[in-house]
Chains A and B, each alone.
Chain A
């Protein structure tokens, strides 16, 4: 059980990293892109906007603690 927990923790750290909010935001942005493109509306701009919002928020959380 402890080994499984360590194994899962390793992959969580490897894929998700220090800020889980970034991974969640990427998944949400991909889902929104899919939904908007299915509606026949241009959706290429959604992931760039997500990056513009997510990256500053993530680094700001660290900066604020200093």
Chain B
């Protein structure tokens, strides 16, 4: 896989998670206290950086065959989770993710919680809300950075892609001072699910000893094949679950 594909996969996955984290931080800052929310963000990012710094080199020390088996298997499980949710959303079987509604819910919960000073933090609720939001959303990104990066021996490039996505989302979010509801989040999740599944299939098979026809070029077939299959699945599910309309009977006067 070339650097461009790695960059794109990590960038998109990270952008999706950053949009969700931004919604939570905006709610914590708007309803509670910006300084405490900011401290929560900084703490969570620091924890994630440590995680990537420790796990990245540790995974790089594992022999490539074993690494591809583990990473490919994990990516495939992860990718199928994303793709499953994306297919369910696209076919109307699961509610679409709505950032405006998520923001409203977080805002209401933040406004209702009591204020408490703790451990040098002015508003503990705003701090923990921000920390949890950024850390939990960032954990998936850290996982993708470490797995993609270590597999291609390009953890720094994967980390740059993640940081670029965070920068774009944060700058845009604070410029408009609102959750990024216009980002086509559900479509992006679909694309990320396709990419994670495709790379999981490719690396997992190679790690288990399979040899792909065409070697790396096989990915050029696997990615569109997974995308078409998932889109086909959406079309079939839409047909099956569409409400059957019975033609109205015209009463004679």
Q: Tell me the A residues contacting B by CB distance below 8 Å.
A: 14-19, 22-23, 26-27, 30-31, 33-34, 37-38, 42-44, 46-48, 51-52, 54-56, 58-59, 62-63, 66
Contact = CB atoms under 8 A, between A and B. Distances in A.
B77 A16 contact: yes
Contacts of A26: 73, 76-77, 80, 200, 204
Contacts of B208: 30-31, 33-34, 37, 43
A5 B218 CA distance: 42
Contacts of A55: 80, 83-84, 87, 229-230, 233
Contacts, number: 104
Contact residues of B: prevailing secondary structure:
helix
Interface string B56-95: 0000000000000100111011101101110110010110
B73 A27 contact: yes
B200 to A, nearest CB: 8
5 contacts: A26-B76, A33-B210, A59-B237, A62-B94, A66-B93
Most buried by B among A38, A47, A55, A62: A47
A55 B87 CA distance: 9
B201 A59 contact: no
Contacts of B140: 14
Interface of B: 69, 72-74, 76-78, 80-81, 83-85, 87-88, 91, 93-94, 139-140, 197, 200-201, 204-205, 207-213, 218, 222, 225-226, 229-230, 233, 237, 240-241
Main secondary structure of the interface of A (DSSP, over half): helix
Contacts of B207: 30
A51 B80 contact: yes
A33 B241 contact: no
Closest 10 interchain pairs by CB? A37-B209, A33-B208, A17-B81, A44-B210, A34-B208, A43-B210, A47-B201, A23-B77, A47-B205, A44-B212
